[in-house]
Amino acid sequence: MSEKQEVNKLPYILTALGTLFLTMGLLHFYGYLNFAREEEGLLVAEFSLVTIGSAEEGQLQARAADHVAECVDGVMILHDSRHQGLSGLLVDSRQRVVRCNAQSVPAVR
């Protein structure tokens, strides 16, 4: 009867770990991994509502904001044009999602 030689498993383990760390490093380098703390991701910008016909309406700046809003599945998604890939839901001060309807325009009363 022949005896099997024991295979050294250390090179296999080191190769697997090296591959894992190299993959994680490359994904982070190309921006596919984002390590953000909860404190950093809470507030991107603050918004306020300026009603039509109010005194604040005449004090608006001519330059547009760096954000673009989009209605997706009935909720307002806000994209930041300065930071590629930074998007989020538009919520009010009580963390409620702002709903939208892309097919209707509100009527002035």
In this structure, is residue 13 part of a structural domain? no
In this structure, is residue 72 part of a structural domain? yes
In contact, 102 and 71? CB cutoff 8 Å: yes
The Cα–Cα gap between 20 and 72 comes to 36
In this structure, is residue 26 part of a structural domain? no
In this structure, is residue 8 part of a structural domain? no
Query: Does the pLDDT value for residue 4 go beyond 70?
Result: yes
Look at the pTM and tell me if it is higher than 0.85: no
pLDDT at 11: 94
pLDDT at 26: 93
In contact, 90 and 65? CB cutoff 8 Å: no
In this structure, is residue 80 part of a structural domain? yes
Domain coverage including residue 72? 62-102
Domain count along the chain: 1
- CB atoms under 10 Å from CB of 50, counted, come to 13
Cα dihedral: 64, 57, 101, 89 (round 10): 50
The average pLDDT across 45-67 equals 68
In this structure, is residue 70 part of a structural domain? yes
